Structure 1
């Protein structure tokens, strides 16, 4: 298309306000011009947090769809194409329809100062309001209190996934400050499902929850326990124990995300969700770039027989801990890391927990992003205790690993932007 979505999105980025306005006024003004789509939505489940938002949404969507419900989904950032952010009835928004919404909202905004995320969120809300569905899963972009998604007066439920230190330049330098921002999605008389948190984070969330009259449901009101056989887990709440199969997504942390989704759906009375729906959902959920096995991709086929290639977009210290926990097991084959990270991320904090398990580290530059040069990220890895070197690309690093002639485990990690490039290069487009 000569007048395509990328061109319109590029224009929208130029409307970013020059004056800082720490409020939702711009968002409310645009929504008013659009005839308030935020008031015409299906029941909304609003999700904030640092880690696990996308996976929790994947479980929610899969369980709700197993129950026969139509589900809209809003997530960010996208990995390969913008349409990934807006799923209508479970399907990516059609490119032509997306272009229509973009052009319409661009015209209605009339060049007024507005952030890229604000106007694209308004576009998504308009699309969700004009296309019927049973429920909308709405992911916060950054923080919560002042996030562009925080315009829903009375959602069905709100969720806060596990919190850790990330985006400190926007949210604050303590876990309490970050928790206060995330808790801003809490609403009066609406369930607030709270994952297991650091004590300071939990205290901040509960303080804000009480101030607005939300209905907090904390970890402890429900629990999850991995079963001895590692074939599944038990979910327990006030109504009893449910024995469940192993989640479809990889990693021991996924029972945390699945449990959070289950807790949300068992603390609402809008939809009837059975145990069979839960079982079907958690064993069919999918979410790209979260310990995604891409061993059968063109890049995976570059490696020696018996190797496995993983892709993960995690980029903060908590994500590093999660990955270290996963790769600390099954250590019969060497583990190689191919990693690129943005300069604003805590690379040392991310890499430190992985260091004991890594045979060799390959640093790469993320093309087109403000990332560490390959040599610098390799230097940070070396300071964390890894044998490291820079590589010109992920493909070159994989060829170097292949030359070792031994079956290996390989993880490409450090950034969702890098993950998007890898998926695109291997024609693994999210659907």
Structure 2
């Protein structure tokens, strides 16, 4: 579970000091990613075990939906008048985004000071950049009072640095699909087993609906840990109806009940989730169940937070300088979907957002570690055109010609008689949008989707915020 060492590039949004410290951490160890717990255990001991002083936590693993699920939980916790710490990854625009301390994004100076303290405590011992950031989160959360911590797994679960949390009240597993096979295994079952490594004895497990292979791996891990497993669609569920999300669960009852009458279900009428798409209804449903399972006292006002949650680059409509390149009336969406499961969710959102006669144009940039063929299969049948891009500075960008080749092969492998989308490449996002504008038919509505990588999404957000 190791990756060859590559010096970490300076990421936008990091202070000069944070960049220096993260690069130093990257040089201290011969792998950029090296899953394991012993290095961080030793470091936390030198720091006085901050993980033991943190408020109780909800731990979130999964392939897709971790960030959105966490955002929904945060909105409901804060809406209840409670204080919340949050740790997520990666960041989009600022390193400080990763850490919410007492309902507020951490300040750059405090984060820099914390990272410096940790590197001094490491005394030159190897530590990966993610372990350094995880230790920083634990230190920040231990030093500031809060009612709850929401902690997102970085990669996998069993050997992820965040799995050194001590007081966990619920383990959450969002939808699992193929991703990071080099580290987690080549099958959904293997990946699910790694992610189920966050399951602990006596701590309830809340799982989104899963494929049979993933569901079996999670159930087996829960049985081995001797803990309750609450499954979406079995023990809790929700539907959208008349502008509301109707949620129900039987979490107060044993997790497996052969026959359950309607009277046994706890019910809530909630606002429609603020984030769009059927996959976000699933994420919101899991978030509600997780707070219930963890025993968090959510108030009626808190439940309404579901309709106010924010999580950028997830079906987000841009309205700045990039959007102004397109013809009047067109929409520009950015979505960080970057694996096959994410592409399937994005495709469902595009079908939901579609209008008669609406053209869909994809502008896509992928990391060079991603399976482009699997990514494109759900999306190509919906697209009129696809342009591959690799922005200057885009982290580990896949070459546009390789993306074009993969997209063409993906289309050729799919049976069907529909006309193929036009597949080409452009040097930048701006040029791709100009190409679309030049070819747009007068009066025809259009939707342009920037997708394929969270790094590309971050660049798009920065460009859109610049003056036209």
TM-score, L = length of structure 2? 0.87
Secondary structure of the structure 2 residue equivalent to 1:322: helix
Which residue of the partner structure matches residue 261 of structure 1?
287
Q: 2:332 aligns with which of 288, 309, 317?
A: 309
Residues 353 and 82 of structure 1, relative CA distance in 2, 3 Å threshold: same
Residues 18 and 41 of structure 1, relative CA distance in 2, 3 Å threshold: same
Matched, 1:415 2:443: no
Measure, in 1, the Cα distance between the counterparts of 2:186 and 2:440.
45
Q: CA offsets per residue over residues 138-197 of structure 1, 9 Å max, x none? A: 000000000000012330111000111111110011111111111111111111111111
Q: How many residues align?
A: 423
Which residue of the partner structure matches residue 345 of structure 2?
322
Matched, 1:123 2:136: yes
Q: 2:208 aligns with which of 195, 206, 214?
A: 195
Which residue of the partner structure matches residue 88 of structure 2?
75
Residues 163 and 120 of structure 1, relative CA distance in 2, 3 Å threshold: same
Matched, 1:15 2:28: yes
Measure, in 2, the Cα distance between the counterparts of 1:226 and 1:61.
21
Residues 22 and 315 of structure 1, relative CA distance in 2, 3 Å threshold: closer
Residues 15 and 116 of structure 1 are in contact (CA less than 8 Å); yes or no, is this contact kept in structure 2?
no
Secondary structure of the structure 1 residue equivalent to 2:439: coil
Residues 157 and 198 of structure 2 are in contact (CA less than 8 Å); yes or no, is this contact kept in structure 1?
yes
Which residue of the partner structure matches residue 391 of structure 1?
426
Shift of 1:242: 2.2
Q: Structure 1: 5+ residue runs without aligned partners?
A: none
Taking the TM superposition and a 5 Å limit, the aligned residue runs for 1:178-327 are: 178-219=191-232, 220-227=234-241, 229=242, 231-238=243-250, 239-269=265-295, 271-278=296-303, 280-294=304-318, 296-327=319-350
Residues 19 and 141 of structure 1, relative CA distance in 2, 3 Å threshold: closer
Q: 1:91 aligns with which of 104, 108, 128?
A: 104
Which residue of the partner structure matches residue 255 of structure 2?
none
Measure, in 1, the Cα distance between the counterparts of 2:369 and 2:34.
23
Measure, in 2, the Cα distance between the counterparts of 1:208 and 1:81.
36
Matched, 1:63 2:76: yes
Q: 2:363 aligns with which of 322, 338, 345?
A: 338
Residues 248 and 285 of structure 1 are in contact (CA less than 8 Å); yes or no, is this contact kept in structure 2?
yes
Residues 21 and 384 of structure 1, relative CA distance in 2, 3 Å threshold: closer
Shift of 1:209: 1.4
Residues 17 and 114 of structure 1 are in contact (CA less than 8 Å); yes or no, is this contact kept in structure 2?
no
Secondary structure of the structure 1 residue equivalent to 2:209: coil
Residues 80 and 298 of structure 2 are in contact (CA less than 8 Å); yes or no, is this contact kept in structure 1?
yes
Shift of 1:79: 1.1
Q: CA offsets per residue over residues 210-235 of structure 1, 9 Å max, x none? A: 212222111210112233x5x23321
TM-score, L = length of structure 1? 0.94
Which residue of the partner structure matches residue 360 of structure 1?
385
Q: 1:42 aligns with which of 55, 60, 64?
A: 55
Shift of 1:364: 0.3
Residues 16 and 116 of structure 1 are in contact (CA less than 8 Å); yes or no, is this contact kept in structure 2?
no
Secondary structure of the structure 2 residue equivalent to 1:150: helix
Runs of 4+ in 1 over 6 A off after TM superposition: none
Measure, in 2, the Cα distance between the counterparts of 1:5 and 1:277.
35
